[in-house]
Structure 1
C-alpha cells in the first residue's frame, strides 16, 4: 500500500501546485492593478513596479496556500472517486485510516510551506517592501524629473514641469499643495532646482508667484517672489528617525517575547504582538487540518450517480465557518493578551473534526447515502 500512498500524495501535490498558481495569479493581478496605478502615477518605472510586486508575492502565497490545499484535496479525491480508483482501493481492504495517511502527509508538506512563509519569507519580504517604499518616497528628485506630465508625488500634491535642462534645472514649474484642508496653495515659477539641505530635500523656485486660496471664505492671496524654498520633507515621507515597523515584519521569537524594545519599535502592545506570533503557528496547523477535513467529508455516504457535491459543499461550508471563527479569535487575542491561546481553537477544531469524520467513516456510509436503499429518509 506504500505505492498507493505515494500515488495519492503525488496527485494531491500536483493539483495543489496547479490551484496555487491559479489562485496566486488571480490574487496577484487584483493587487497589481492598484499597485501599478499608484506607482506609475507617481512617476516610477516599470522596473520598480515589478520589484514591488515580486516583494509582495510571499504574502500572497501565504494567504492562498491553505485554500489551495483544501481545493486540491476536494478535487483530487473526487476525481479518484469518479474514475473508480478510490472504489478499487477500498475493495482491496484499504481502510479510511490508511487513506488518511497520504492525505496527512500532504497536509504536513503544506503546513511546512506555510510555516516557512509565515516565520521567514513573509517577514523578510515585508521588511524589504517597507524599506524600499521608504526609499522610493524619499527619492523626490526622481519623481520630479519628468517633463511634460502632471505628476502626483504625494497625496494632495500635483507637479508639472515644462522642460528639464541637461543640468537638472526645472523650467516652467507648476506645483499645487492641497494637503491643508483649510487652504490651497499654487506655485508657479520660471525655473527651479532641487537641493539637499541637512538631510532634507528642498525645491528652490525663482521668479515666481504663490496663490493661496482660503477655502472657508474663498479669499485669494497672491504673492510674487524672486526666490522661494519649498520644503519637501513631509512630502517625501520625512527623515525623522527610525521607521515604525509593522508587527508582521518582526521575527517570531521577538513577537512572542513582546518585550519593551519590540513594543517601542512597532508601537504595539503585548496583546497585538503575541497574537501575531501565535497566529503564524495556528495558520500552519489550520493548513494541516484542511486536507484531512476534506477527506472526512468526501468519504461520508455511499455511491451516488449525482456525485459528491453534497460532501464537497459540506467541506467548503465547514472551512468557511472555521475561518470566520479564526478571525473572531484573532480579534479577541489582539484585544487581550491573556487570550493568546484562543487563536489555536479553529486549527484544533479543524484537526479534531477531520479525525472525527474519518473515524465516522470507519463505521460505514450511514450518514449520507442515496434514498431507495432501505435507509430512513
Structure 2
C-alpha cells in the first residue's frame, strides 16, 4: 500500500510538470511560428479562421518534437524536488531501492511514447496533407481576389503572376512566369481564365493562349491551346511537387504529407519516388524511431540524479551531464535523419542512438554504485571550468 501511494505521489508530480512544460514550450514556439503566417491576413486577404487553421495544423509536429524534451525536464524537476525535500533520502532509508522509483516514471514515459507514436505515424502526416490542400486553396483565392489588376505579383520563389483586368469572375489578359526550375522555365499567356475547384483541387482554367518552354538544348517550344487546366499546386514553390499539367493531374504529395501506410507500401515505379527515394526512406524511419526518444530521455535523467545526493556529491555535474547527453542525442538524431537522405547506413543511427542511451542508462540505474564514481572522475575535468566560473560569480 505504501509503495502504491508513493508511486501515485511521484506520478502526480511528474505528470503535472510534464503537462505544464509541454503546453508552455509548445505555446511559445507555436506563437513564434504563427507570427510568420500573419501575411495570410495582411497580404493575402484571408480570414482569421483560415489563419488559425493553418497555424494549428503545425501543432502535431510541435507536440511530437517537444514531448520527449518536456518529459526529460519533468523527470529532472521531479527528482530534484524529491531530493531537495530530502524525500529521496527517506525513501532510501525505508528500503526503497533507487530502481524501484522508476515505476511511476515508466508509466508516464509509456504514455508519452504512445502520444509521440500517434502524432508521428498518423496525426502529423494528415495535418501536413490538410495544410498542403488548404494552401493550394488559399493560393487559388489569392490569384482570383487579391492580385490587383495590372500588377506583377510574385506568388512564390520564381513564380510571377499578372492579369490585365477582371470581367465578372474571369481574369482577362493572363501572364504567368514559372522559373522555379532554372533549367526549364515556362511562360503561360492566355486571353482569359478563371479558378475552379475539381475534386478538392483548385485549377486555373485558361482559354486561348500559349505555353512557352525553354528546353535543355537552349531551344524554345511554343504550345497553343484553346483550353488548358493549370493545377494551382504548381504554385507551391516545389517544382517536383506536381507540374499541374493537364485536366487529370493530381497533386503529388511530399513524403512528410503521405500516410505511414503509404510510405510502407510505396510504389517503387512512381517517378517522384525515384527522384526522392532518400527523402522517403528518411521520413519513414524518422517516424518509426520517434517513440524511442521519450524512453531514452527519461532514463538518462533518472540515471543522472535518480539517487539521493548532496550538492557536495556532484549533483550539479550530474545535471549538466544529463543535459549535454540529451542535447547530443537530439542533435545526433537530427544529423542522422539528414544524412539518411543520402546514405542508407545513417538510417541505423536513428535507432542506435536512443537504444544505446537506453542500455547505458539502465546499466547506470541498476549498477550505479559501481559505475558512478568512475564516470564522475571521467567527466569532472569537462565541467571544471564551469564550476570555477560559478564559484567566482558567487564570491562576487
**Same fold by TM-score greater than 0.5:** yes
Structure 1 segment 131-170 matched on structure 2, within 5 A: 131-140=133-142, 142-144=144-146, 153-154=155-156, 157=160
Which of the pair has more CA radius of gyration?
1
Q: What is the total number of aligned residue pairs between the two structures?
A: 333
Deviation track 1:249-268 (CA, whole Å, cap 9, x = no partner) reads 2232432344325x445555
Does the 8 Å CA contact 1:293/1:351 hold for their aligned counterparts?
yes
Aligned to 1:7: 9
Structure 1 segment 1-377 matched on structure 2, within 5 A: 1-37=3-39, 40-140=42-142, 142-144=144-146, 153-154=155-156, 157=160, 195=194, 200-201=204-205, 233=230, 237=235, 239-240=244-245, 241-260=249-268, 263-264=270-271, 266=273, 268-299=275-306, 302-304=309-311, 308-337=315-344, 340-363=347-370, 366=373, 368=376
Q: 1:270 to 1:194 in 2, by over 3 A?
A: closer
Shift of 1:80: 1.5
Q: 1:140 to 1:37 in 2, by over 3 A?
A: closer
Does the 8 Å CA contact 1:16/1:68 hold for their aligned counterparts?
yes
Deviation track 1:83-106 (CA, whole Å, cap 9, x = no partner) reads 222222221111121012222222
Q: RMSD value over aligned CA atoms? A: 4.0
Shift of 1:308: 3.3
**Partners in 1 of 2:252 and 2:177 — Cα distance?**
26
Moved more, 270-279 or 17-26: 270-279
Q: 1:46 to 1:142 in 2, by over 3 A?
A: farther
Does the 8 Å CA contact 2:364/2:371 hold for their aligned counterparts?
no
**Partners in 2 of 1:33 and 1:160 — Cα distance?**
30
Unaligned runs of 5+ in 2: 183-190, 209-227, 236-242, 381-396
Shift of 1:152: 5.9
**Partners in 2 of 1:303 and 1:72 — Cα distance?**
20
SS at match of 1:244: coil
Shift of 1:324: 2.3
Shift of 1:53: 0.8
**Partners in 2 of 1:68 and 1:312 — Cα distance?**
15
Aligned to 1:214: none
Q: 1:279 to 1:168 in 2, by over 3 A?
A: closer
**Partners in 2 of 1:126 and 1:111 — Cα distance?**
21
SS at match of 2:251: coil
Q: 1:295 to 1:161 in 2, by over 3 A?
A: farther
**Partners in 2 of 1:161 and 1:40 — Cα distance?**
23
SS at match of 1:259: coil
**Partners in 2 of 1:60 and 1:346 — Cα distance?**
21
Does the 8 Å CA contact 2:98/2:307 hold for their aligned counterparts?
no
Q: 1:159 to 1:42 in 2, by over 3 A?
A: farther
Relative to the length of structure 2, the TM-score reads: 0.70
Shift of 1:248: 1.6
Aligned to 2:391: none
Q: 1:60 to 1:194 in 2, by over 3 A?
A: same
**Partners in 2 of 1:119 and 1:15 — Cα distance?**
26
Deviation track 1:127-174 (CA, whole Å, cap 9, x = no partner) reads 111111122222345533789x99765556587999x99x6699xx99
Q: 1:364 to 1:348 in 2, by over 3 A?
A: closer
Shift of 1:315: 0.5
Does the 8 Å CA contact 2:22/2:70 hold for their aligned counterparts?
yes
Shift of 1:70: 0.9
Shift of 1:321: 1.2
**Partners in 2 of 1:56 and 1:49 — Cα distance?**
12
Unaligned runs of 5+ in 1: 182-191, 205-230, 372-377
Deviation track 1:332-355 (CA, whole Å, cap 9, x = no partner) reads 432233553332011101211211
Does the 8 Å CA contact 2:76/2:301 hold for their aligned counterparts?
yes
